[in-house]
Amino acid sequence: MNTFLGIELGSTRIKAVSVNTACVPVFSGDYTWKSRYENGVWTYPLEEVWTGLKAALGGIQDRRQVQAMGVSAMMHGYLAFDQNWKLLTPFRTWQNTMTAQAAEELTALFDFNIPQRWSIAHLYQAVLNGEPHVERIAHITTLAGYVHFMLTGVNAVGIGEASGMFPIDSSVHNYNEEMLQKFEKLTAEQPWSIRDLLPRVLPAGTLAGELTEEGARLLDGLLSPGIPFAPPEGDAGTGMAATNAVAPRTGNVSAGTSIFSMVVLEKPLSKVYPEIDMVTTPAGAPVAMVHCNNCTGDMNAWAGILGETAELFGASVSTGELFTKLYQKSLEGDPDCGGVLTYNYLAGEGVTHLDAGRPLVVRRPDSTFTLANFLRSQLYATMATLKIGMDILASEGVMIDTLTGHGGLFKTPVVGQRYLAAASNAPVTCMETAGEGGPYGMALLAAYLHNGQGRTLVEFLARDVFEGIPGSVQKPDEKDIIGFRSYLERFRVGLAVERTAVSHL
């Protein structure tokens, strides 16, 4: 049975998924890891990348039948290497909010929003800080780009991933020339040119190399040399592919450790918004992205505490059952969470202009503090900040015909989907593959490389992958809409409490 393989190095799991020629998932494997906060930096050790990849590939039983594959990973961030591809400073992930000065200056210089997590912001902040490693840089890339290079020897990224490193000109499928020139002038005293540091840009459907002998050895021979590779993408691009959200007026919400929405635009926005990132689909179409650093992390922590509590009474509950029961219990809560308010900010948030986070649960003495309301508040919080950004797109007249949810938040049927429908006031679709997320999307991009000749990515996904595939649709409930609106009003006002906590705790 011929298959296509997608690998994704996410924030909490390294996962591999293979699909058959009908693009239906057949095997999967994963490895759990987590970021570390070391010396003021959120990071992952690169040695663990290879441990995790081999563990995830162990679950793929059809490895010798793989016809094409691709690597995806958490988007953006900063990996800087010297000319011999030696890492110069620990990997700086998307979670870091340490580049405010650089992001602000570059946004003004380019007249284009540069978020703090983008690679170019990290690079320029290192320049501003006078960091010793800067003069030795020969390459910068993302986690997906690094793994792809190590496996194939090709220093390139997909266009969607590239658009989170440096602004893209969609008309030529490459970095924006005018902005490259501006950055060259800005960094003229450096011993390098930004053009030499950045990886090549490749749109979906382009051959991006093959698994080399050296790459196969890194994986302990679990895969055979010669497998063709699709361009590496970030989890934003693979999320769009996994939800068939690559055509204008389509959108998706990916919800796990972080949460972000991607809406494919019909026309440019009227002005620059610091809350909105302008990126692209894996095929290069313009996309408005609302990215929030915090989603289920705080809920996961509380689930752990509640699981420990159950163990005190002799109950042994699996992680999956624990989350399912807690999510379902939240449906018993009041539509406005009974006045209970949650800030799930483990890290800072660009949308609400906070450079650090402090998780908080806040309530008035007259609030109805029940388990159901507490859990519902936790889940509302996962999408409250996203809603603030999405309201900007609504004010711009951006139209969304379909909104699809995927990722861990939607693994429990109905619950997260229902709350997102209320938050967005639009029907939300979840497909059977919603929990597979990015690695499934990367497998589809590998299938497109192999089978998509002569067709656009939009056509391939619509006809070869998603035509006739059933999905569940949750329409917004009026009581939920009113309840979420009330919650969000309190959330906006209470941001002053969050800012005070950041300042004083």
Percent of the chain surpassing pLDDT 70: 99
CA gyration radius, the chain: 22
Pick from 228-232, 333-337, 346-350, 404-408: least confident: 404-408
Structure tokens at 339: 């006045």
CATH numeric code, 3-243:
3.30.420.40
CA 127 to chain centre: 26
Coil, helix or strand for 341?
strand
pLDDT: which is higher, 394 or 469: 394
Q: How much is the average pLDDT of 487-495? A: 97
pLDDT: which is higher, 127 or 424: 127
Instruction: Kindly report the three-state secondary structure assignment for every residue of 63-81.
Output: HHHEEEEEEEECCCCEEEE
Q: Give pLDDT, residue 254.
A: 86
Q: How much is the average pLDDT of 167-176? A: 94
Structure tokens at 66: 């793989």
Measured over the CA atoms of residue 309, residue 311, residue 314 and residue 317, the dihedral's sign is positive
Q: How much is the average pLDDT of 469-487? A: 92
Residue 435 has pLDDT above 60, yes or no: no
Q: How much is the average pLDDT of 407-411? A: 86
Domain ranges of the chain: 3-243
Q: Give pLDDT, residue 453.
A: 85
Q: How much is the average pLDDT of 210-230? A: 97
DSSP state of 401: S
Residue 434 has pLDDT above 60, yes or no: no
Q: How much is the average pLDDT of 109-121? A: 95
How far is residue 414 from each of residues 33, 301, 475, measured CA to CA in Å? 27, 22, 11
Q: Give pLDDT, residue 417.
A: 94
Mean pLDDT of all residues in the chain? 94
The confidence band for 100, taking pLDDT boundaries of 50, 70 and 90, is very high
Could you tell me which residues come within 8 angstroms of residue 392 by beta carbon, excluding any fewer than 6 positions away? 273, 275, 276, 290
Q: What is the pLDDT of residues 308-326, one digit of tens each?
A: 999 999 999 999 999 999 9
Q: How much is the average pLDDT of 350-361? A: 93
The confidence band for 97, taking pLDDT boundaries of 50, 70 and 90, is confident
Q: Which residue has the tokens 């499928």?
A: 173
Q: Give pLDDT, residue 177.
A: 98
CA 386 – CA 302 distance, rounded (Å): 21
Measured over the CA atoms of residue 348, residue 350, residue 353 and residue 359, the dihedral's sign is negative
The model's pTM is 0.84
Q: Give pLDDT, residue 467.
A: 85
Q: Give pLDDT, residue 86.
A: 97
Percent of the chain surpassing pLDDT 90: 85
Pick from 185-199, 203-217, 230-244: least confident: 230-244
Residue 76 exposure: Cα atoms within 13 Å on the Cβ side: 24
Residue 178 has pLDDT above 70, yes or no: yes
For the chain, report the end-to-end CA distance as a whole number of angstroms. 57
CA 246 – CA 227 distance, rounded (Å): 26
What phi and psi, each to the nearest 5 degrees, are found at residue 486? -65, -45
Coil, helix or strand for 20?
coil
